[in-house]
Structure 1
Amino acid sequence: MSSSPTPKSRVLVLGAGNFGSCLADHLGDCEHEVFLWSRDPGFVEYFNVHHRNPNYLKDHAFSTNIHALGPEIPNKETVQQMEVLLFAIPTQGIRETLTKLQPSLTGEKLPLMIFVNKGIETGTQALTLEIIADTCGSRVAREATFISGPSFAKEIVRRQPTSVSVASLTESRAEKASEVFHQPWFRCYTGRDPIGLELAGALKNVYAIAAGMADGLGFENNTRAMLITRGLAEMTKIGTAYGASPLTFLGLAGVGDLFLTCSSPSSRNYTVGYRLGKGEALEDIIRTLGSVAEGVTTAKGLKKIIDEMDVNASIATEIYQVLYEGKDVKTSVQELMSRPPSRELDLPEKTGDHAKGLLKKLGLDTSINGDIVKHTSQYGHECPVP
């Protein structure tokens, strides 16, 4: 089925949930040799016999180029045989998984490490880029690559046309990841703003909860369009204050993914909001949802970030109060709509402190491996060109 001349790779996909499974299937269909890791031994046995996922995308027959592994984390020998490691586990589990894998990431040649999770670590407010630096070191973080964009798993496995953003601080790694994934039905666009891409992917889940709440309350198209547009304005304001490029939020990882997750009942975060709007308790929704809605945990980390940056993000604040302070949904809507008039587009004057601190942790104000060729990035730092 593949029409790409790209050399085939051995790919280890960590996480056999909805999105990890669909990406494993896509890569297997592209004739890569794919290994799909799960901590569930029942899944591993079932998948290797039937080539079906008993928990997600149940009706789909998966590529025979995929072999399931687990439940133990892959050992050093297995990891070092891989050209690509694809992380498709929830953000809150990334630190633990990377800590276990770190001893395997030694030697001169690192595998291409691609992350598709979308969220902010609750306890630390860290983006995945910072978690990678904390657990695996600055070199691994500098070469890490991130993929985000409007991409429902059930449509990817049906090969419906899909496009995503691919970003890394090391441009050659983003280009390599794009080559691994790119197909006529799955287009990749590269960029050099992984911080913006991460923030866009995480924040849009919070605003999808807001859109779902509005639909659950019985509001219609005007309200949804308002929330998507104002949500994008807040995302751009928060991202710019953090130090990301505002242009990133106009791309696939920003407005593209925001529109998708705010407009479809297939979105887990939209579903959480919709059920909240219908009057259900959050605990009951989470217990019966069947999969992780990262916007719920992201809202908690986001609240701390906007407070630290002193950014006015009224929709995000109201979502936090509904989720964690027990605020009534209807009261939240009334207070949002009762706010006084304000400027429609207003980017913050003070920008970049969070991003600058993160880049300093990554060593991007010094040379890498003696290479002192530099360029100026959107983060306000001189970043080495690998």
Structure 2
Amino acid sequence: MPSSSPSPKNKVLVLGSGNFGSCLADHLGDSDHEVYMWSRKKSFVEYFNEHHKNPQYLKDHCFPNTIRAVGPDLPDAEFVKRMDVLLFAIPTQALRSLLTELRPSLGDVNPPLLIFVNKGIETVTNALTLEIIADTCGKDIARVSTFLSGPSFATEIIKRQPTMVSIASLSEHHAERASLVFHQPWFRCYRGNDPIGIELAGALKNVYAIAAGMAEGLGFKNNARASLITRGLSEMTRIGVAYGANPLTFLSLAGVGDLFLTCSSSTSRNYTVGFRLGRGESLNDVVESLGSVAEGVTTAIGLKAIVDGLDVPAPLANAVYKVLHEGRDVREQAQELLERPMAKELELPRKPGGPARALMNKLGIEEERY
């Protein structure tokens, strides 16, 4: 399918050579951008540049010649300043150290457009990516950073299957710029101004995908799956609003769209973790054999701390945490959930927005919705 991008061509540095970073690099390279993909592994850089293939992910796919691998050292300041876009596609737990290392190369005048596609909560600090950016790069860069999320399996993106995503930033101008970088007929972008909601939805859905996998592993059928997805959406919306996100964000592609995808497909790594736990395997055996990161496992830790701090009901998230990190039995946790007392179906917290307001204050932003 020929490119029909309305955007000017960009020099893009993709930081991360994993499954998702690779497929986005492929999409951007096929959209006629000049793309560089960084990896800390020298063997990856040499193999990719010789064969135009990723030796670990999407192994059978041949990447366009418009992509060049760089590394293993982080590109220097001169290289970074030539880039129009930096795309961060590394696990959330590694982001703070990378941004700290990269910050001197960004400069303070006309830095590259920063786009983040990681989904998770930093376990040590319980921070979202927006706060990590503020801590490492300062409020000015955080306020114009952009976030991409939505139902987007890598194996379908590289086949140019229709994909639609949410892109959000506190700066509408930068959200539009990021959308123009990615937008194609097969990869449609919808803009928003709630990066906190986008981040929470992208992180929390991984935890509920583990729950959905557990239900399948236990032998529960379609009624249970549909109910779990719906109750998961209700719960993540309640948590998000208590944090300070816009409730409508959870009805977006980054919210219910991504939640539905990851909770209903065995292609999802997080769903696979839950399924195997439901079948009786240990978490250590599952993680060791998975071969790629399932961020819901670590996200459950940060989410538990956030839920406790907000004092908001989150029975599904708490049950997943207990199985993953307290060694509780999957079947017993499922039974406890089924035996909970009757409750209202939909109820939002009465005092929303504390953590988001604090983060906006750090960024020097005052908005009524926080």
Normalising TM by the smaller chain, what interval? over 0.9
Q: Name the structure 2 match of 1:289.
A: 290
Residues 277-356 of structure 1 aligned to structure 2 (within 5 Å) = 277-356=278-357
Matched, 1:378 2:366: no
The letter of the residue matching 1:36 is M
1:213 and 1:222 map into 2 onto residues whose CA distance is: 14
Give SS of 1:358's match.
Answer: helix
Matched, 1:195 2:210: no
Q: Name the structure 2 match of 1:128.
A: 129
Matched, 1:258 2:259: yes
Matched, 1:240 2:241: yes
Give SS of 2:352's match.
Answer: coil
Identity between Structure 1 and Structure 2 (%) = 68
| CA contact 1:10–1:84 (8 Å) conserved in 2 | yes
- For residue 5 of structure 1, report the CA deviation from its aligned partner: 3.0
2:10 and 2:109 map into 1 onto residues whose CA distance is: 18
Give SS of 1:129's match.
Answer: helix
1:195 and 1:171 map into 2 onto residues whose CA distance is: 14
- For residue 187 of structure 1, report the CA deviation from its aligned partner: 0.2
1:116 and 1:5 map into 2 onto residues whose CA distance is: 22
1:45 and 1:166 map into 2 onto residues whose CA distance is: 33
Q: Could you list the per-position Cα deviations for residues 190-220 of structure 1 after superposition, in whole angstroms to 9, with x for gaps in the alignment?
A: 0000000000000000000000000011111
Q: Name the structure 2 match of 1:98.
A: 99
- For residue 74 of structure 1, report the CA deviation from its aligned partner: 1.0
- For residue 122 of structure 1, report the CA deviation from its aligned partner: 0.3
- For residue 377 of structure 1, report the CA deviation from its aligned partner: 5.5
| CA contact 1:149–1:252 (8 Å) conserved in 2 | yes
The letter of the residue matching 1:274 is F
Q: Name the structure 2 match of 1:370.
A: none
2:74 and 2:244 map into 1 onto residues whose CA distance is: 35
What TM-score comes out, normalization by structure 2 length?
Answer: 0.99
Q: Name the structure 1 match of 2:179.
A: 178
2:350 and 2:25 map into 1 onto residues whose CA distance is: 43
What TM-score comes out, normalization by structure 1 length?
Answer: 0.95
1:205 and 1:4 map into 2 onto residues whose CA distance is: 31
Q: Could you list the per-position Cα deviations for residues 111-154 of structure 1 after superposition, in whole angstroms to 9, with x for gaps in the alignment?
A: 10000000000010000000000001001100100000000000
Q: Name the structure 1 match of 2:138.
A: 137
Q: Name the structure 1 match of 2:37.
A: 36
1:347 and 1:107 map into 2 onto residues whose CA distance is: 40
Q: Name the structure 1 match of 2:55.
A: 54
Cα RMSD between the aligned structures?
0.7
2:42 and 2:35 map into 1 onto residues whose CA distance is: 18
- For residue 378 of structure 1, report the CA deviation from its aligned partner: 3.0
Matched, 1:15 2:6: no
| CA contact 2:216–2:278 (8 Å) conserved in 1 | yes
- For residue 81 of structure 1, report the CA deviation from its aligned partner: 0.4
- For residue 100 of structure 1, report the CA deviation from its aligned partner: 0.5
2:251 and 2:165 map into 1 onto residues whose CA distance is: 13
Q: Could you list the per-position Cα deviations for residues 324-344 of structure 1 after superposition, in whole angstroms to 9, with x for gaps in the alignment?
A: 111000000000000010000
Moved over 2 A (4+): 376-379
Q: Name the structure 2 match of 1:373.
A: none
1:135 and 1:123 map into 2 onto residues whose CA distance is: 15
- For residue 107 of structure 1, report the CA deviation from its aligned partner: 3.3
- For residue 245 of structure 1, report the CA deviation from its aligned partner: 0.3
Residues 213-224 of structure 1 aligned to structure 2 (within 5 Å) = 213-224=214-225
The letter of the residue matching 2:22 is S
Give SS of 2:267's match.
Answer: coil
| CA contact 1:12–1:86 (8 Å) conserved in 2 | yes
| CA contact 1:193–1:378 (8 Å) conserved in 2 | no
- For residue 105 of structure 1, report the CA deviation from its aligned partner: 1.1
2:369 and 2:350 map into 1 onto residues whose CA distance is: 15
Q: Could you list the per-position Cα deviations for residues 304-363 of structure 1 after superposition, in whole angstroms to 9, with x for gaps in the alignment?
A: 001000001000000000001110000000000000100000100011000000111112
Q: Could you list the per-position Cα deviations for residues 11-61 of structure 1 after superposition, in whole angstroms to 9, with x for gaps in the alignment?
A: 000000000000000000000000000011101000000100010000111
Give SS of 1:254's match.
Answer: helix
1:364 and 1:12 map into 2 onto residues whose CA distance is: 29
1:306 and 1:108 map into 2 onto residues whose CA distance is: 38
Structure 1 residue runs without a partner (length 5+): 366-375, 380-386
| CA contact 1:167–1:191 (8 Å) conserved in 2 | yes
The letter of the residue matching 2:369 is Q
Residues 197-212 of structure 1 aligned to structure 2 (within 5 Å) = 197-212=198-213
Matched, 1:5 2:6: yes
Matched, 1:361 2:352: no
Matched, 1:146 2:150: no
| CA contact 2:6–2:180 (8 Å) conserved in 1 | no
Q: Name the structure 2 match of 1:369.
A: none
- For residue 67 of structure 1, report the CA deviation from its aligned partner: 0.3
- For residue 177 of structure 1, report the CA deviation from its aligned partner: 0.2
- Total equivalences in the alignment: 369
Matched, 1:159 2:160: yes
Give SS of 1:189's match.
Answer: strand
1:173 and 1:263 map into 2 onto residues whose CA distance is: 33
Q: Name the structure 2 match of 1:382.
A: none
- For residue 6 of structure 1, report the CA deviation from its aligned partner: 1.3
Give SS of 2:147's match.
Answer: strand
Q: Could you list the per-position Cα deviations for residues 256-294 of structure 1 after superposition, in whole angstroms to 9, with x for gaps in the alignment?
A: 000000000110000000010011110111111100000
